[in-house]
Structure 1
Amino acid sequence: MKTLKDTLDLHALVAPKIEGVLFDIDDTLVDLRQAAIDGFIATLGQAGAHLEPQQLRVIAEDFADDAAGAYERYMAGELTFLGQRQVRVDRAYRQAGLPAPSGTDFERWASDYENRVQSQWRPFTDVHAHLDVLSSLGLSFGAVSNNVESYQRNKLLRSGLTDFAVVVGSDTAGAPKPDPAPFLEGCRQLGSTPQTTLYVGDNPINDVVGAQTAGLRAVLLDREGSHIGHRGVIIRGLEELSNALCAR
């Protein structure tokens, strides 16, 4: 439950001059988790017919949440993009009691999954209204993400988020978050200083600590209330941030 102190902290965070706002993309602007769950279930298809609905949901959530830790290995350069997806598929199929696709069968699986998941990309319901508020306040905004810039630009466009001129990927700045480089590149492209830029993301380390290390202000977007022990400013939805910015 949000307390009065949390509210005051949010207002204190945004009270000093802000010139721009940078966002994480996945599970901050775009509901990637739900798209991954739906995409996995659809791609698994009849192969998962022996599973109870709850079993299937648990396996799909495990895949979407990357309980295998494969994506961080991709960001560290240990795996290719397809390689991290293979690790996640192998784990999911083991949980389902099925032989995992490999070789050309996996390539077909991965292509099918990619098409399905992209068709499921959607922004969270509070995103468009929040971006409208930023525009009305004259605040520029952009995105800094731990994925390839071209892929993330396509994700925003397919999600109907067409107003992002500034999109920084892990390849753009030569390093992924929480390294300061992508945050600083985002500020450079926005034309704002780190001290007058607010960063919004859903990961306490990659987003909040990374942004703060680079000199930005940061707020954790915790839509599910799963970071109760976080020592910093938390919001449960973008409407809270809109209200705080309008109340300055």
Structure 2
Amino acid sequence: MNEVPNALDGSANRSIQGVLFDIDDTLVDLRAAAIAAFLELTTEELRHVDASEASVVAAAFADDKAGAYERYMAGELTFLEQREVRLQYSFGLVNAVAPAGESYQAWAATYEKTVRSYWRPFDDVLPHLAQLRAMGIPFGAVSNNLESYQRAKLEIAGLDGFDVVVGSDTAGAPKPATAPFLAGCRQLGSQPKRTLYVGDNPVNDYAGARNAGLPAILLDREAVHEDFLGLRIRDLWDLAGLISAGFDSFATDS
């Protein structure tokens, strides 16, 4: 991996005065945690499939191939219901019977405890946050989940320093609505046009932030958005150095 450039001067010319991040699969490797927890808890139910098939099933659950989380964001499902829909969908791929009723309730409780044990930040996150602190740039997070849940996630993952965390519940609307982004800017005390937003979703993160007047960049860790036409990076290693050097391509029009 590239080393973050150690250029901490030039703050007077710096266009970015604050940074807001998405959390899931931007700061915290939620996909890896979900896959690991799923596989740990479904050994018996998936005993009839080989390891490669089980991995496909786990990925379908983690990646929400059922589209359940968007239904949760729209108010059609509760948080536990969206997770159950994802479980049923993924099990159905290999004709397995998913836990239901009280069995699902027990499974969901165990899954929640297990997945939390796997919450970890990506390798580039802590060094990048250290760079932002050294540069005197405040940072926070804006997420499409409950604020209290995401604060706990950051703490468990070892990511301190996030005084500003905006959830879809406290913002009154989920991304890509403008409200969460603007709430994050208000809490940071920075102007939207001088607040960089970094996230992994082209619509909820990049387009949503841009529509709210924030400069934005897509964090495409797995290179799945090769045709994306906006600003895109593969990791965070160089981002602090670019900001520190007065990289103005992030800034919106004054």
The TM-score bracket by the shorter chain reads over 0.9
Matched with 2:4 is none
Percent identity over paired residues = 57
Q: Distance in 2 between matches of 1:240 and 1:228?
A: 19
Task: Report the residue type matching 2:172 in the other structure.
Answer: G
What amino acid does structure 2 have at the position aligned with 1:163?
Answer: G
2:33 is aligned with 1:42: no
Distance in 1 of aligned mates of 2:194 and 2:19: 9
DSSP-derived class of the 2:45 partner: helix
Unmatched 5+ stretches in structure 1: 1-14
SS of aligned partner of 1:47: coil
CA distance, structure 2, for counterparts of residue 98 and residue 236 of structure 1: 36
The equivalent residue for 1:130 is 128
Note the residue ranges of structure 2 that are not aligned, 5 or more in a row. 1-12, 247-254
Instruction: Tell me the alpha carbon deviations over residues 180-217 of structure 1, each in whole angstroms, 9 at most, x when there is no partner.
Output: 00000000000001011000000000000000000000
Deviations 1:213-245 (A, max 9, x none): 000000000011111111111010001212212
Greater than 3 Å deviation, 4+ residue runs: none
Quick check: 1:31 aligned with 2:21? no
Aligned residue type for 1:45 = T
| 1:82 counterpart residue number | 80
**Structure 1 residue 49: deviation in Å?**
1.7
User: How many Å separate the matches in 1 of 2:214 and 2:38?
Assistant: 36
Which residue identity is paired with 1:97?
A: N
Query: Partner of 1:12 in structure 2?
Result: none
Query: CA–CA distance in 2 between the matches of 1:234 and 1:102?
Result: 41
Match of 2:17 in 1: 19
Q: Where does residue 121 of structure 1 map in the other structure?
A: 119
Determine whether 1:208 maps to 2:206: yes
Answering whether residue 222 of structure 2 is matched by residue 229 of structure 1, we say no
Q: CA deviation at 1:21?
A: 0.1
- Kept in 1, the 8 Å contact 2:71–2:82? The answer is yes
Q: Secondary structure at the match of 1:143?
A: strand
Q: Is the 8 A contact 2:16 2:243 kept in 1?
A: no
Q: 1:71 maps to what in 2?
A: 69
In the TM superposition, residue 16 of structure 1 has moved relative to its aligned partner by 5.4
Alpha-carbon distance in structure 1 between the residues aligned to 2:90 and 2:60: 7
Give the residue type in structure 2 aligned to 1:132.
Answer: A
Q: What is the deviation of 1:96?
A: 2.8
Q: Which has the higher helix share?
A: 1
Cα displacement string for residues 14-73 of structure 1 (whole angstroms, at most 9, x for unaligned residues): x75211000000000000000000011111122212211100001100110000000000
Q: How does 1:153-164 map to 2 (within 5 A)?
A: 153-164=151-162
Report the 3-state secondary structure (helix = DSSP H, G, I; strand = E; otherwise coil) of the residue aligned with 1:219. Answer: strand
Q: Deviations over 1:155-177 (max 9, x none)?
A: 00000001100000000110000
CA contact (8 A) 2:217 2:230 kept: yes
Taking the aligned partners of 2:93 and 2:230, their CA distance within structure 1 comes to: 36
Q: C-alpha separation between the residues in 2 aligned to 1:87 and 1:219?
A: 31
1: distance between equivalents of 2:127 and 2:204? 25
Separation in 2, partners of 1:213, 1:178:
8
Q: Which residue of 2 aligns with 1:150?
A: 148
Q: Please provide the CA RMSD for this pair.
A: 1.0
Which one scores higher on RCO, CA 8 angstroms, separation ≥ 6? Answer: 2
Counterpart position of 2:172? 174
Residue type matched to 1:137 in 2? M
